[in-house]
Amino acid sequence: MTMLIRLFWHLALLLGLSPLLLGVIAKTKAGFAGRKGPPLVQPYYDLARLFRKDMVISRTTTWLFRAGPVAGLTAPLVASLFVPFGAIGAPLGFDGDLIFVIYLLGLSRFCTAVAALDTGSAFEGMGAAREVTFACLVEPTVFFVLIVLVRLTGSFSLGGLFGPALAAGWHTAAPSLMLAIFCMLVVTLVENCRIPFDDPTTHLELTMIHEVMVLDHSGPDFGMILYGAAMKLLLLGAMTVGLALPVSLGSAPLDAAVFALAMLLLAVLIGVVESVIARLPLLKVPQLLIGTSLLSFFALILLLR
């Protein structure tokens, strides 16, 4: 029974909250620019509209092109069942699921990249190459952060790494955890193609990375990609929030409310970052990502001392 309640809260938060985050980010950016901006629920309208539309599929593509969006939607959905949302524990979990979750996200990225290559467009191939390069550079940071958490809590399952399990860690290793939060925030920005690493609103520009890969998708396929991206934002955001907020209030609705509030604050923070920081030159990004990896490595050294 508790298992079912947990699953319900988890899916409700995941499916209901994730598009709202995109709306909050857009609203924050509009506020900074002095515009009124689209309504907060605009992403829901966009998704509903996309799912009603027809699709145009290029004749040169194969089934790989159709498989990309499906993996892009299902992989984050399955992965987020292993991640605790604030104090609401993860419905599923086993020892070592942290590696499983990270590589599920890797699988969705692989499928998106393969679908982009399948169109045979040189432009999309370039975007795929960039996306995969940055993903390689982010991976060490994620794993160093997770190693720090494993070392602190002694658990090998994501369910035991975040949230209330960390409360004791904040007393003994606060500096390491602060570095870990910063690194996780950078990972969230990179993995979700946010400024300063990639601009999600550019279209048809030589510098864009993620958007270029999905240029040929339309209709329901594009809707699946958008929804999957929103879930991925929620998933990685949940890891960041889980690091920063090691409290539990006891009752599920209250915990869900606290988590939703924290996620919205994170979305506002992302909006502020996008408004005040200029996009980095493409060649500077690897330098910054390696720097972040080294920072997370330093967090591990501090902890091991």
Partner 1 sequence: MENLANLLLLLVILLNFFILGSSRLGACIQTAALQGAMLACVPLLMHPISGHTLFLAGSALALKGVVMPWLLFRAIRQVRIRREIDPMIGYVPTLILGTVATAGAFIFSDHLPLVAAHRGSLVIPCGLATLGAGFLMMITRRKALTQALGYLIFENGIFIFGLLLTEAMPLMVEAGVLLDLLVAVFVMGIVVNQINREFSSLNVENLSLLRE
Q: What is the footprint of partner 1 within residues 231-290 (CB under 8 A)?
A: 286-287, 290
Q: Which helix (H) or strand (E) holds 262?
A: helix 252-276
Tell me the closest approach of the beta carbon of residue 54 to partner 1, in angstroms.
47
Closer residue to partner 1, CB minimum distance, 225 or 289: 289
Which segment (59-67, 107-115, 260-268, 294-302) binds partner 1 by CB under 8 A?
294-302
Closer residue to partner 1, CB minimum distance, 126 or 295: 295
Closer residue to partner 1, CB minimum distance, 36 or 305: 305
Tell me the closest approach of the beta carbon of residue 291 to partner 1, in angstroms.
5
Tell me the closest approach of the beta carbon of residue 290 to partner 1, in angstroms.
5
298 makes contact with partner 1 (CB under 8 A): yes
Tell me the closest approach of the beta carbon of residue 305 to partner 1, in angstroms.
6
Q: Which residues of 156-192 are buried (b: 16+ CB within 10 A; e: fewer)?
A: bbbbbbbbbbbeebeeebeebbebbbbbbbbbbbbbb
User: From CA 235, how far away is CA 257, in angstroms rounded?
Assistant: 16
Token code pair at residue 292: 């972040």
User: From CA 86, how far away is CA 247, in angstroms rounded?
Assistant: 8
User: From CA 102, how far away is CA 99, in angstroms rounded?
Assistant: 5
Closer residue to partner 1, CB minimum distance, 254 or 276: 276
**Cα 65 to the center of its chain, rounded Å:** 23
102 makes contact with partner 1 (CB under 8 A): no
Tell me the closest approach of the beta carbon of residue 301 to partner 1, in angstroms.
5
297 makes contact with partner 1 (CB under 8 A): yes
Comparing CA positions, the residue from 115, 170, 105, 213 lying closest to residue 303 is 170
Residues 154, 175, 253, 281: which binds partner 1 (CB under 8 A)?
175
Q: Which residues contact 282 (CB under 8 A, 6 or more apart)?
A: 130, 207
Tell me the closest approach of the beta carbon of residue 36 to partner 1, in angstroms.
36
Token code pair at residue 12: 């409700």
Residues in the site for partner 1, rule: CB under 8 A? 175, 286-287, 290-291, 294-295, 297-298, 301-302, 305
